A = this chain, B = another copy of it.
Amino acid sequence: MPASNPESMSVQTEAKPKAAERIRRAARELFYRQGIRAIGVEEIVTQAGVTKPSLYRSYASKDELAAEYLRDYEQAFWKVFEAGKETHPHDARAQLMAYFEGLAQRATQPGYRGCGLTNAVVEYPGDDHPARKVAQAHKRKLRARLVALCEAMGSKAPEVLADGLLLLLEGTYASGQLFGRQGPARSLVAVAEQLIEASIA
């Protein structure tokens, strides 16, 4: 950055021209599909069409790259989760159920791999791993958001309902990878409706 003309660089302020972004994308795909521990950095850079030093110029370690992958994953998650806000404004229940319906479909597709954030927690039991920290922080946020939604839909016991819905969500993530097309995720919407109904009536 040699002095003048600060607006010469486009949107990206931090130095991330191309290689880093390609690595991100490759890591995202490989980490999600195969698991973080199962994928070596060599495989990532090969898939990205770059070399190892390029990876370590943009990311401090494989663990940090994994954490970055999860940050990207979380951002994408919220986009999907909050998509119902536009289609069903002022209707918390419809917003929530829109996500549940989409999830139920995805989770009954063969090759479904569940939630990248939950999977990372399974892969790294130790509290100190950076990837796990990202995942746990996200799940706390998700839980709080669910409570808010349950309150908005007039639940008599919003915390309990939110707990129940969260259990259903995590159960869907897990059993989606366990069972194929006719897995228990097919009943997710019906069961969630029952819980909501019982908590509102």
Contact = CB atoms under 8 A, between A and B. Distances in A.
A109 interface: no
Interface stretch (A10-18, A52-60, A91-99, A166-174): A166-174
Contacts of A82: none
A191 B186 contact: no
A51 interface: no
A37 interface: yes
Interface in A162-182: 162-164, 166-175, 177-179
B125 A177 contact: yes
A181 to B, nearest CB: 13
A4 interface: no
Given A37-B123, A123-B37, A175 B164 contact: no
Count this chain's copies in the assembly: 2
A148 interface: no
A187 B171 contact: no
Contacts of A178: 118, 121, 135-136, 139, 170
30 contacts: A34-B125, A35-B37, A35-B122, A37-B37, A38-B124, A38-B125, A113-B125, A118-B122, A119-B122, A125-B177, A136-B178, A139-B175, A139-B178, A139-B179, A140-B179, A143-B184, A159-B187, A163-B187, A163-B191, A164-B184, A166-B175, A167-B171, A167-B172, A167-B175, A167-B185, A168-B168, A171-B171, A194-B194, A194-B198, A194-B199
